[in-house]
A = this chain, B = another copy of it.
Amino acid sequence: MMEYPLLLRTFLLRAAKFFPKKELVSVYPGETFRYTYADYFKRTCQLAHALGSLGIKRGDRVASFALNNHRHMELYFGVSCMGSVLHTVNPRLPLHHMAYIINHAEDKVLFIDEDLLFLIEGIKDQLKTVKHFVILSQSGKMPETSLSPVYLYDEWISGFPEDYDFPADLDEWSPAFICYTSATTGDPKGVVYTHRGLVLHSYAVAVTLGGSEDACILHIVPMFHANAWGGPFIGVMLGCKQVFPGRDVLNMESTCKMIAEEKATFTAGVPTIWMMLYDYLEKGGWHDFSSLKAIYSGGAPCPRYLMEGLNEKYNFPVVQAYGMTETTPLALAALPKSYMADWPMDKIYDVRSSAGLLATGLEMKIVNDKGEEVKADGKEWGEILLRGPWIAKEYYKDPERSKEYFEGGWLHTGDVGTINEEGYVNLVDRTKDLVKSGGEWISSVDLENAIMAHPKVLEAAVIGIPHPKWQERPMACVVPVQGETVTEDELKEFLKDKVKASWWIPDKFAIMNEIPKTSVGKFSKKDLREMYASGKIK
């Protein structure tokens, strides 16, 4: 077979040549912008020339600081297909982390959405490698800014030729994208995606989840999250219509309107979004989901009531998938097998609310403390290890943490799970959140769910605290429902018949007003542990 490299270029050229009339739609406040793959290709070519004029070469990093819109999509293929590397910066990171990752990636050019400009103004003096700033603006006016040198994207690219010879001789192992994970401890960790990895991930996602040219993909996942979960690449690979919702993505009325008007068939997002949607629908919000074929939920487990409610009441077909920045991200998908078609609904939802079945092309093992694979009985716990052609092999310029997480050629996900006899994985906890008590393990997640089932409890987070005899014992941090009080004794009594063993019941309960959260809205157990260590909670 030919030594033909797997490059994003092949997808781009095919879309431009064979689907020039298909549409890309970008929604801005008060304006819906539409253009075709033919136009998209021309501007992508102009962008590549424009970057070349700044001296950007193969391997150079270029950053985007942008929401989901058509200019960001031009960066996706323009930067990577010319051989440079697109660093998608998460504008929700703490400011010092933003500066850190831009410096760590050594980004030379920074593309900034006009709406997000104020964030960059705040850190510009900390940026050591950025030589040029480019404003992505739909208004067409240069905003007031102290950045320099600064260009207005449309104006800047407009003078360049509308055709570009994207290199066919690029090595498929060349980096195309880089994305940083928001680490719970220490600096963010960078994951580099090669052309090969992204091409294979695109095929695998389309095969695993289903995809064809007649799909219309609505991009709810922010394009600064792990490759927007693959959607933009699959869209180009297949010549699909794609819709970029811009700032309006958190407005459920607007999202429902986009689904109906553009006849979206697929979208993806985190459960938080689907909770907002469910709330909107339960309040009688207008919707028309008749075009939808599947909605992929990932990033965190989708609560079963939410999945069932959306699916049964509103015919909003949620499919759970599992992955992480290190896995490009698809690793598992919770699709029932064909022979389960006549299973009772309850068992089907057991399958659909699991983390899923391994995507084709990867290898997985779930191993216990001794490194032995756990039994496929749905009960034995172990850490999920993954390997395959779209799994990261290391963290960028971080040999120490790379050694820890990629030992033995497998990604150690830090997620603890079970696998049942049908091969579906269920998550139990994060390895570092498990409570190690007397040589046994207690799942903080299971305990939290049990406590949160109490009608007076709003939130509960469980951490392990040091214990002289048992090594660790669980402690529960509990926020009561507004206007209610709840006592330790009440909770201990409540838990008696709800935990796996009596020694699972926490020794301590801290009743709090609020549980500290991370930048992505999860319970910050790191903060809770520090609060306990410093005596702030007891």
Q: Let me know if A343 is at the binding interface, CB within 8 A.
A: no
How far, in angstroms, from A17 to B193 measured CA to CA in the complex?
Answer: 28
8 Å CB interface, A324-380 against B:
328, 335, 337-339, 357-358, 360-363
How far, in angstroms, from A18 to B389 measured CA to CA in the complex?
Answer: 19
From known contacts A358-B18, A423-B17, infer whether A389 and B6 are also in contact, taking CB-CB under 8 Å: yes
- Residue contacts A-B, CB under 8 angstroms, 23 given: A1-B192, A1-B196, A1-B197, A1-B328, A1-B389, A1-B393, A2-B388, A2-B391, A4-B363, A4-B387, A4-B388, A6-B200, A10-B360, A10-B363, A11-B360, A14-B360, A18-B422, A22-B337, A207-B207, A210-B212, A213-B335, A213-B338, A238-B360
How far, in angstroms, from A204 to B199 measured CA to CA in the complex?
Answer: 11
> Do B193 and A361 touch across chains, with their CB atoms under 8 A apart?
no
How far, in angstroms, from A292 to B97 measured CA to CA in the complex?
Answer: 54
Q: Which residues of B contact A5 (CB under 8 A)?
A: 389
A-side interface size class: 35 or more
8 Å CB interface, A463-496 against B:
none
How far, in angstroms, from A18 to B339 measured CA to CA in the complex?
Answer: 13
Interface residues in chain A, defined as those with a beta carbon under 8 Å from any beta carbon in chain B: 1-6, 10-11, 13-14, 17-19, 21-22, 173, 192-194, 196-197, 199-200, 203-204, 206-207, 210-214, 237-239, 328, 335, 337-339, 357-358, 360-363, 387-393, 409, 422-423
> Do B338 and A2 touch across chains, with their CB atoms under 8 A apart?
no
How far, in angstroms, from A357 to B207 measured CA to CA in the complex?
Answer: 19
A109 to chain B, nearest CB (A): 24
Q: Which residues of B contact A203 (CB under 8 A)?
A: 200, 203-204, 207, 361
Q: Which residues of B contact A337 (CB under 8 A)?
A: 19, 22, 213, 239
> Do A2 and B238 touch across chains, with their CB atoms under 8 A apart?
no
Partner of A207, one of B17, B206, B391: B206
Q: Which residues of B contact A237 (CB under 8 A)?
A: 207, 360
> Do B204 and A339 touch across chains, with their CB atoms under 8 A apart?
no
Q: A1-B393, A213-B338 are in contact. List 18 more A-B contacts (CB 8 A).
A: A1-B391, A2-B387, A4-B363, A4-B391, A6-B389, A10-B361, A11-B360, A14-B358, A14-B360, A18-B357, A18-B423, A22-B337, A22-B339, A207-B212, A207-B238, A210-B210, A213-B335, A214-B338
